Amino acid sequence: MTPTTNAGNAGKIDPRFRGELCRYAMSLGDDSLVLGQRLGEWCGHAPTLEIDLFLANIALDLVGQATLLLDYAGACEGNGRDADRIAFHRDVLDFTNCLLVEQPNGDFGRTIARQFLFSNFQLLLFQALSNSTDATLAAIARKAAKEVAYHARVASEWMVRLGDGTEESATRVRDGLDWSWRFVDELFEAPDAALIESGIAVDPAGFRAEFDARVDAVLRDAGLARPPGRRPILGGRNGHHSEHLGPLLAQMQFLPRTYPDARW
Amino acid sequence: MHAGNVERIRALLDHVPDPEIPVISIVELGIVRDVTVADHGGGAVVLTTTYTGCPATFAIESAVRTALDQAGFKDVAITRRLDPPWSTDWISDAGREKLREYGIAPPPHSTSLREHATPACPQCGSTQTEELSRFGSTPCKALWRCLACAEPFDHFKCH
């Protein structure tokens, strides 16, 4: 994806954390990549042209973030893999995205509920990560946070519009929220402890209260109840995915795997 | 001599249009972060992206490459810088005026009340306008409509 190198104005990579940093950047990149690919499925199918545009634009932002994060994961790894190689030539068990982003789009209500939860999480994460002691991660986070602020805003507005809309729209967005809710706790799993201690990574537990407050405020406006706590479903960070990720990757990876030397 | 070359390259870049809004140059858009020329040839044009996923990035780099090559700066590299992130505040005043003339309401400066101000219609100048869609024809624009003259228009989002 990058014809010229030097994607970031990177500081030095601390050799003690190289391996864990690679894993961390890759999991963040996988989140963005998989949700970007999912949202791309809406292209040409959304209820209205405006919705089609904003879903595709969010997808574009996410794929852009994934490019930066996966390129950096490759640089930390040091085996010459770039973002394309990492995105298109890994098998499903090697992906470490959270389970929420790989869930099927469902109807528009479910897509919006998923986006609402993920974008609000990602916004707080990137805002915190903007102060990372790793210069490259901080730079990517500062750039991405500006984009994700838009995603969170537009998804929150649609939560209210659907929840406070017709009986049909309220039912659908409530069902979407119920579907997505069991995947929220996984977002707040702590990354590697040494990375957090060194100030490179962020422990999302630090902004859980802020996340809950934001979600509750929007749900109140939307006239939606917070779904009851459920036993969380975990495993994505360790490569234990739902049955939905494989088909997504099959579609995304088909061309570069079938024609490995294909060029635009 | 090197300073002269930096100026020559900047002048070249001032004629490289943004591929999606060809009325303004990449310099006016504020994405040229630096131009350096080394003592014995070489050097770099440092670009930043507007949005991380902006599909125009490759087209811009390709146009800059062509402009540099044609002017004999084959050994000047093109590199990217991510931080600090691009802001619409970096669009020059001349660039803003060209956007308006082109029919795109320019972004407000971040010092203005960005959450509350509505952009003036680039056709008739009325501030009686409303947002139709937060995401428009490109990632950097939103779709608005003028309530006075009823014309829809693009609004460059504050970013």
ipTM above 0.85, yes or no: no
Bridge pairing between strands B77-80 and B32-37: unpaired
Q: What is the pLDDT of residues B104-139, one digit of tens each?
A: 999 887 665 555 578 999 999 999 999 988 777 777
Q: What is the pLDDT of residues B63-94, one digit of tens each?
A: 999 999 999 999 999 999 999 999 999 999 99
Is the pLDDT higher at B20 or at B122? B122
Asked if residue A209 belongs to a domain, the reply is: yes
| Alpha-carbon dihedral angle through residues A28, A33, A34, A38, given to the nearest 10 degrees | 140
Asked if residue A213 belongs to a domain, the reply is: yes
Is residue B55 helix, strand or coil?
coil
Count how many domains chain A has: 1
Tokens 């779709």 map to which residue?
B143
Asked if residue A2 belongs to a domain, the reply is: no
What pLDDT does residue B116 have? 58
The answer, for B135 touching chain A at a CB cutoff of 8 Å, is: yes
Contacts of A8 in chain B (CB under 8 A): 80-83
What pLDDT does residue B115 have? 54
| CA A39/CA A52 separation, integer angstroms | 10
What pLDDT does residue B114 have? 52
What's the rounded mean pLDDT across residues B48-54? 87
Question: Is the pLDDT reported for residue B15 higher than 80?
Answer: yes
Pick out chain A residues at pLDDT < 70.
Answer: 1-11
Q: What is the pLDDT of residues A82-104, one digit of tens each?
A: 999 999 999 999 999 999 999 99
The whole domain housing A119 covers 16-254
| CA A17/CA A14 separation, integer angstroms | 6
Mark yes or no for CB contact B51/A8 under 8 Å: no
Contacts of A147 in chain B (CB under 8 A): 51-52
What pLDDT does residue A8 have? 42
Give me B48's structure tokens. 């930043």
What pLDDT does residue A11 have? 65
The answer, for B103 touching chain A at a CB cutoff of 8 Å, is: no
| Amino acid code (one letter) for B80 | R
**Mutate: best of B82, B89, B134, B140, partner A, most A CBs <10 A:** B82
The answer, for A142 touching chain B at a CB cutoff of 8 Å, is: yes
| CA B29/CA A51 separation, integer angstroms | 27
What number of C-beta contacts closer than 8 Å exist between A and B? 82
Asked if residue A260 belongs to a domain, the reply is: no
- CA A235 centroid distance within chain: 15
Contacts of residue B124, defined as CB under 8 A and 6 or more positions apart, other chains included, come to: B146, B148, B149, B151
Closest-CA distance of chain A to residue B24, Å = 22
Where residue A120 sits, what CATH number does that domain have? Answer: 1.20.1260.10
Asked if residue A145 belongs to a domain, the reply is: yes
Pure H helices in B14-92: 26-29, 57-70
Is residue A105 helix, strand or coil?
coil
What pLDDT does residue B56 have? 87
Question: Is the pLDDT reported for residue B140 higher than 90?
Answer: no
Contacts of residue A105, defined as CB under 8 A and 6 or more positions apart, other chains included, come to: A38, A39, A41, A42, A111
Which domains does chain B carry? Answer: 2-86 (3.30.300.130), 99-156 (no CATH)
